[in-house]
């Protein structure tokens, strides 16, 4: 994550150079000397900040295992050293160009003043960013706690209903079709293992497998009422795709609860997945029953995926979303989130 953008660094260098030039204005004879001094300060501060930031970024793996006070001290020392070297270089250039007369005592005093001032302001910036970092961490922990609570809420609402229906199906299959009951238990085991692993990113292939486990369980109970058609990307494309665990599965679960279970007709669900221009789009098209009366107003209230969308945004950013539109003949739900293609 970028702490400051390039234009912000340039603004900082500009005003910092102006501030230092104004402090030293008493030793300048006119505007031409002021402009030369200001220009030299801009060059000096750019030579101080930019190389030091690149070094800090390069040494990030080393700093990662060190304590915060140790890292802060190293950064301050690095900035002070960079300020010393840049000032010496700029002063040498100005002396050679005839823009400045060499005075040893003044040079040493200015060098010490500039080095100490750079170290002080670096410490102030580090304190500010440390405070911001702690606030962001606290916000992240709070958000993760909220997501965990929402995830638990989903489980509390759907798990009992799903669990009891599955148990009843197993009881009937154990006597009539033991091999099918054994297969069903394997599907249940895989799905429940994933549901208790928390909110995390998984490969899209894993998510599809979890959906297949869930649909296999529900198909044992719903018999011929459910038909699902998948349109998936090619295997080499889908291999690089990821998604938040149980996102698609929880959307399908809500569709089954509010549509398939409310009718005796066969419901066809078409799932189309595309990955284009660094965005994944999953469209779930559900044809509503023609004979059974389903009140669209109530259906719109149940077809909301706020919690699932929040979980998706926590991993893929604020542009991720889940939208569902209910018409008289169909429901179209779209899961849309950014995903950078590292292969491009």
Q: Are the C-beta atoms of residues 91 and 48 closer than 8 Å to each other? A: no
* pLDDT tens, N- to C-terminus, the chain (344 residues): 445 566 666 777 777 777 767 776 666 666 777 787 777 778 877 787 778 777 877 877 777 777 778 888 888 888 888 888 888 888 888 778 777 777 788 778 878 887 888 888 788 878 877 777 777 777 666 666 565 655 555 454 445 667 767 777 777 778 788 887 788 888 877 777 766 665 578 999 999 998 999 898 888 888 778 999 999 999 888 989 999 888 898 899 889 988 888 888 899 999 999 999 899 999 999 999 888 767 666 788 788 888 888 888 888 988 999 999 998 889 999 999 999 865 54
Global pTM? 0.55
Tokens of residue 168, six digits: 């009843």
């Amino acid at each position: 994550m970028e702490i400051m953008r390039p234009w912000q660094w340039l603004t900082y260098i500009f005003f910092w150079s102006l501030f230092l030039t104004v402090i030293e204005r008493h030793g300048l004879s006119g505007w031409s000397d002021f402009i030369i001094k200001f220009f030299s300060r801009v060059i000096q501060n750019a030579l101080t900040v930019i190389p030091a930031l690149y070094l800090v970024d390069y040494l990030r793996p080393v700093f990662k295992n060190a304590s915060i006070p140790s890292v802060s001290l190293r950064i301050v020392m690095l900035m002070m050293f960079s300020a010393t070297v840049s000032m010496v270089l700029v002063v040498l250039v100005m002396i050679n160009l005839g823009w400045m007369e060499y005075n040893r005592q003044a040079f040493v005093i200015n060098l010490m003043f500039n080095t100490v001032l750079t170290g002080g302001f670096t410490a102030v910036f580090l304190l500010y960013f440390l405070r911001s970092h702690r606030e962001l961490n606290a916000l992240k922990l709070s958000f993760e706690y909220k997501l965990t609570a929402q995830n638990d809420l989903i489980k509390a609402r759907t798990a009992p209903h799903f669990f009891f229906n599955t148990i009843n199906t197993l009881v009937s299959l154990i006597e009539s079709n033991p091999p099918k009951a054994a297969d069903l238990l394997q599907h249940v085991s895989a799905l429940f293992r994933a549901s208790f692993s928390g909110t995390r990113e998984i490969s899209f292939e894993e998510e599809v497998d979890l959906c297949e486990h869930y649909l296999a369980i529900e198909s044992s109970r719903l018999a011929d009422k459910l038909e699902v058609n998948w349109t998936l990307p090619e295997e080499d494309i889908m291999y690089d795709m990821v998604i938040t665990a149980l996102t698609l599965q929880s959307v399908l679960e809500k569709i089954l609860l509010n549509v398939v279970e409310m009718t005796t007709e066969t419901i066809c669900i078409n799932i189309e997945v595309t990955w284009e221009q660094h965005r994944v789009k999953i469209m779930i098209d559900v044809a509503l029953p023609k004979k059974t009366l389903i009140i669209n107003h109530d259906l719109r209230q149940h077809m909301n995926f706020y919690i699932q969308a929040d979980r998706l945004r926590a991993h893929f950013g604020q542009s991720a979303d889940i939208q569902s539109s209910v018409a008289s003949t169909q429901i179209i739900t779209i899961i849309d989130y950014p995903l950078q293609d590292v292969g491009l």
